[in-house]
Each structure stands twice: as C-alpha cells, then as structure tokens.
Amino acid sequence: MANENIPDKYSLLNGAALAYVGDAVYEVEIRKYVIELGKTHPNKLHGAAIKYVSAKGQAKVMHHWIQQDDFLTTKEIQIYKRGRNHKANTKAKNASIGDYRQATGFEALLGWLKLSGQEERCNHLIQQAIQYINEEGA
C-alpha cells in the first residue's frame, strides 16, 4: 500500500475522471469473474454481471466498507468522498441519486488505486466487493 503522506499525481484528478477509470477496471474484473463461473452466452453474462456492476450493489458495498473500522485508509475514504461528492450532469437510470453517488465514489476509489499503481489493493477490494455481494445478495 502506498504511503499516505506522499502525494501522487492521481490524487489531484477530479472524482469523475477517477470513476471513469474505476468503472472500466471493475467492469473488466466482473466480466472475468462471470466467465470463470462458466457463463458464456451473452445474455447470461450480462445477467450475471448486473448485480455486481449496478449502482445499488456498489453503494451497498461502499456502505459496508465505510461502516467497518480500519477497512479503508484515510486516503481511500478521501478519494471515495471526492467521487461521491462530484457534481454529475447525468443520473443513473435504475438507481437513486444517493446510490448513484456512492457508486461513483466506489468507482473513483478503484480508479485511483489502479492509476496510482496499487494493483494488489485494488484487486483485494474488488474481491471483497464480489464476496460481499455474493453473501448479502446486494
């Protein structure tokens, strides 16, 4: 994990830019995960991925992580909040504004981790998200 006291150039990006990358990172990992489950038909792939990539599912994961003491670092929470608080000109089709904003924060966090070279932490959080969604049916 990166030293929280050392600034990185990616910490300066706005929440939307970080979420843009995080969305792609998470989407690829979820697609890989559902393929590994043995899903191969396009409609089944999409259906299997929905619960993981939906704003509602991501918001539940983020809420769960925030509630846990010491699960996320101070810097990770800061980046999440930057994504969550970013003023978006769009809204989710099938999510509340609150869920959409929390999901944007979730994606911003993953984007920042990926861009700042914290691959292991990023992968760990993705695996934790998958596990939580599987257990809670988010």
82 within 8 A of 102, measured Cβ to Cβ = no
To 5 degrees, how large is the angle CA 40–CA 46–CA 50?
Answer: 135
Is 23 noted as a catalytic residue in this protein? yes
- The pair of structure tokens assigned to 80 is 């999440």
To 5 degrees, how large is the angle CA 55–CA 95–CA 27?
Answer: 25
Of 8, 23, 69, 70, which is the active-site residue?
Answer: 23
- The residues that are catalytic are 23
